[in-house]
Chains A and B, each alone.
Chain A
Amino acid sequence: MAHRVPAVSMRHITKEFAGKVVANRDVSLDIYRGEILALLGENGSGKTTLMNMLSGIYYPDAGEIQIDGKPVNIGSPKDAFDHGIGMIHQHFKLVNVFTAAENIVLGLKEKGRFDLAAASERIRQICDAYGFDVDPNQKVYDMSVSQKQTVEIVKLLYRGAEILILDEPTAVLTPQETDKLFAVLRNMRDDGKAIIIITHKLHEVLDISDRVVVLRKGEYVGEMATAETTAQEMTNMMVGRQVSLNIDRPPVEMDYRMERIRVKNLTVRNHDGVVKLDDVSFTAYTGEILGIAGISGSGQKELLEAIAGLQPVESGSIEYVVDATGPTEEVEQLIGMDPIKIAQMGVVLSFVPEDRLGMGLVASMDLTDNMMLRSFRDGTSPFTDRKAPRHLAELVVDELEVNTPGVSTPVRRLSGGNVQKVLVGREIAAAPTVLLSAYAVRGLDVNSSYLIYDLLNRQKGNGVAVVYVGEDLDVLLELCDRILVLCGGKVSGIVDGRTTTKNEVGMMMTKLGGGEA
């Protein structure tokens, strides 16, 4: 295929941050029209940085970018637009208080009067052509994640983008929404557009891409045609050594299994008075991983926070079974209890919110200090003990392979995946009886994800009741013993992780009780 001219050619690109962290070193890759290229790599391997240089957010320190064979200088996002390059970022670049149409025309220098009605008409035409469903007059803050993503794609098409970059587009979508997105991407490919998709989900790479380029630690490792490779081969290239791709699921020790948390008829409203949890009941057992599936925003956050005592509850009860072996069951009511007391009982929350640093860790503090957030109340001395947290930090760095210059580095400087490892590592070190974890592997690469699954399984083996809120259905199905499916704040059903199917859970996520939509 040497005769084809690549739509984009990146030559020997190098980028450093603050003169120290090398994000990309001497990376070269080509993208052709009518092709979907998957860019694969672990966290911090420089996929997003590389693409940001193409879309004008960053400027390369060295190297050259060519469009249709001609060298170009992309100094700003505007330059990128002028060359037909559009990027959809992991965190959507949309103004919340604007309507879809306002967001789409933002930054455009069209001739003539500013006319939103005409723009809306053109947006409708694009939507009809590719099969999108967008209301130009809807405000972004009223939209679901998938709608926002659609607006992003329409925005690029409206600007006549020929080269589209999507940064982990499926991270927040349900399987059904993902299928819809992929169908649209294939449409656009057949329309002659060049598409780059950044991901670390191997089955998606296999599903959608024509060619795959692998990056490791900021460097180009290799590329191959998707049809000629396997998930195992790609993983090995990505990690640099042989990795097992199966998630373990040790059997539940039924003899020792006992009830740990009993949630009955739980109803929760958020600040605006919207019902986020509606009459939710379930039981979490010791030595078991209970998965929670649902479209993002179906009440997962509120559920975990209610158990941890961080969320006011309207009605219902949450019981913590202290000891069920004696003649009479010893039970504590968690509602109304102080979060600190709940934590002391062994209920820990490791919640990884969308911005990762929002809850749990303080960005500007170093690893040791962040470990201390859990332990600073211990002891009676007026001075805090810094030694133990320091050891803990070193242990977490060691065991979870956190990529950091040292334990005195502010958490902010670490890449997303490493931040998550620090958070999860700290929570597990607290030797919990209940481990509430949400999106523990969000944005983590294969290698780190498996480390986390391993940690969760070890906790399960220790008799901890693990509640795992996840986004990737494949993982939920492989890891969890039982899966509770939430749909709009209601329990859509509880299924056995060993016997259910992805389709069944997907249906239940979108429709109460599942069934044909």
Chain B
Amino acid sequence: MFDIVSFIPRAVAQSVPLLFGSTGEIITEKSGNLNLGIPGVMYVGAISGVIGSFLYERSFSDPSQINAFLGVLIPLACCLLGSLLMGLLYCFLTVTLRANQNVTGLAMTTFGVGFGNFFGGSLIKLTGAAVPSIALSATSNLFRRSLPLASGMGWFGKVFLSYGFLAYVAFVVAFAASYVLERTRVGLQLRAVGEDPATADAAGVNITRYKYLATCLGCMIAGLGGLYYVMDYANGVWSNDAFGDRGWLALALVIFTIWRPKVSAAASILFGGLYILYLYIPSGGNMAVKELYKMIPYVVTIVVLVFSSMRNMRENQPPESLGLPYFREDR
């Protein structure tokens, strides 16, 4: 029997990193920057948080004694700082130096994954543990803390109230991003920058500033996705390459939702569900079949890409100048 009450919370837990990643990338792409470095940024966000909380936990002989407030704040600040630096690097290369966005992004993904694994490996060496992973259970407990009354509310509590605070942050950020993009002056100007920077420039919008701010903010939001994965989803256990290809799935989600963060809130749960669907489909002992089921999110992405490129509505197209550098005196 398909257990929907246990399926949904797991799907939502899967969806949170995707939602952070796609919201961050949508904000970035609306400024005309195609940041393919998002998977790398999420790695850097995760490992930065891990480093922060690792050092903080190590400063106590008994990690369970850590200050609840600092225990959350330190990894959070480290994560945001790490992702911000990645965003600044990307902007400096593509906006200031006008380097090719695709090459820069891909290089940053390679760099970010390597950076995560290098420092992850170093920390594992420091602990001298037998297993190739770091467990930050004290910090993780803080991140995973849900409302105390959730457990007493049956299926409702399980489906809606059983998550750590970062999961709620993800959904709030997505809806807030949608509101800002659609309803505010800043959002209008940001969209104009991504659609037609020459027009926005002639209208007095500071292109460089908008591109920097949107891209850096996007990276910081995406970085939180990495942090959520380690601290909440993986119970504070960092092991190299565990984050996998979620960053790429977040990028696919951007196109799937045709650049709408609030759609992403629902779509990410769909993707998260598809990601773990293989655990719920009875396949007996046949492992090969399970591996095939793991393909489902990617197959769905391809199918959606086919359909979304067939629908030819003007509003559903990517920002017009996505991926193109802007130089005012270009002739």
Contact = CB atoms under 8 A, between A and B. Distances in A.
A89 interface: yes
Contacts of B3: none
Interface stretch (A99-107, A243-251, A300-308, A431-439): A99-107
B202 A89 contact: yes
B151 interface: no
A107 B203 contact: yes
A114 interface: yes
Contact of B315 (A87, A97, A105, A114): A97
Contact of B203 (A77, A97, A110): A77
Interface centre among A89, A95, A109 (most CB of B within 10 A): A95
Interface in B193-207: 195-196, 198-206
Nearest to B196: A95
A96 B184 CA distance: 19
Contact of B200 (A17, A107, A108): A107
B23 to A, nearest CB: 21
Given A93-B199, A95-B195, A97-B315, A106 B188 contact: yes
Contact of B189 (A97, A106, A110, A272): A106
B312 A98 contact: no
A280 interface: no
Contacts of B191: 95, 98
Contacts of B312: 271-272
B202 A95 contact: no
B195 A98 contact: yes
Contacts of A494: none
A78 B204 contact: yes
Interface in A382-418: 412
Contacts of A81: 204
A500 interface: no
A14 to B, nearest CB: 15
A114 B183 contact: yes
Interface in B293-331: 312, 314-315, 317, 320, 328-329, 331
B188 A102 contact: yes
A106 B320 contact: no
A94 to B, nearest CB: 6
Contact of A114 (B185, B195, B202): B185
B196 A96 contact: yes
A57 B191 CA distance: 21
B202 A105 contact: no
B252 interface: no
A107 B198 CA distance: 12
A58 B328 CA distance: 8
B192 A76 contact: no
A103 B203 CA distance: 9
Contacts of B201: 57, 76-77
B195 A57 contact: no
Nearest to B329: A58
Interface in A79-127: 81, 87, 89, 93-98, 102-103, 105-110, 114
A57 B188 contact: no
B314 A106 contact: no
B204 to A, nearest CB: 3
B151 to A, nearest CB: 43
B188 A93 contact: no
A209 interface: no
A43 to B, nearest CB: 14
A141 interface: yes
A77 B202 contact: yes
A105 B329 contact: no
A105 B199 contact: no
A139 B314 contact: yes
A55 interface: yes
Contacts of B189: 106-107
Contacts of B315: 97
Interface in B241-294: none
A105 B189 CA distance: 10
Contacts of A55: 202
Interface in B158-202: 183-185, 188-189, 191-192, 195-196, 198-202
A106 B192 contact: yes
Contacts of A87: 202
Nearest to B183: A114
Given A107-B204, A107-B205, A96 B320 contact: yes
B199 A97 contact: no
Contacts of A114: 183-185, 188
Interface string A140-174: 01000000000000000000000000000000000
Given A17-B331, A95-B196, A95-B199, A106 B205 contact: yes
B202 A57 contact: yes
Contacts of A272: 312
A141 B202 contact: no
A81 B202 CA distance: 9
Contact of B204 (A77, A94, A95): A77
B188 A97 contact: no
A77 B329 CA distance: 12
A392 to B, nearest CB: 26
Contacts of A97: 195, 314-315, 317, 320
Nearest to A81: B204
Interface in A48-76: 55, 57-58, 76
A141 B203 contact: no
B86 to A, nearest CB: 29
Interface string B201-224: 111111000000000000000000
B177 to A, nearest CB: 16
Contacts of A58: 329
Given A77-B202, A77-B203, A81-B204, A105 B188 contact: yes
B184 A106 contact: no
Nearest to A94: B199
Nearest to B194: A95
A93 B185 contact: no
Contacts of A96: 195-196, 314, 320
Contact of A57 (B192, B205, B328): B328
Nearest to A102: B188
A60 to B, nearest CB: 12
Nearest to A55: B202
A271 B189 CA distance: 31
A424 B26 CA distance: 44
B203 A93 contact: yes
Contacts of B317: 97
Interface centre among A106, A109, A114, A412 (most CB of B within 10 A): A106
Contacts of B200: 95, 106-107
A330 B242 CA distance: 73
A464 to B, nearest CB: 35
Nearest to A92: B199
A355 to B, nearest CB: 13
Given A97-B317, A98-B191, 7 more contacts: A55-B202, A57-B201, A76-B201, A93-B196, A93-B199, A106-B203, A108-B185
Interface of A: 17, 55, 57-58, 76-78, 81, 87, 89, 93-98, 102-103, 105-110, 114, 139, 141, 271-272, 412
6 contacts: A57-B328, A102-B188, A106-B199, A114-B183, A139-B314, A141-B314
The 10 tightest CB contacts between A and B, nearest first, are A107-B203, A78-B204, A93-B199, A107-B204, A114-B185, A93-B202, A106-B203, A95-B195, A107-B205, A95-B196
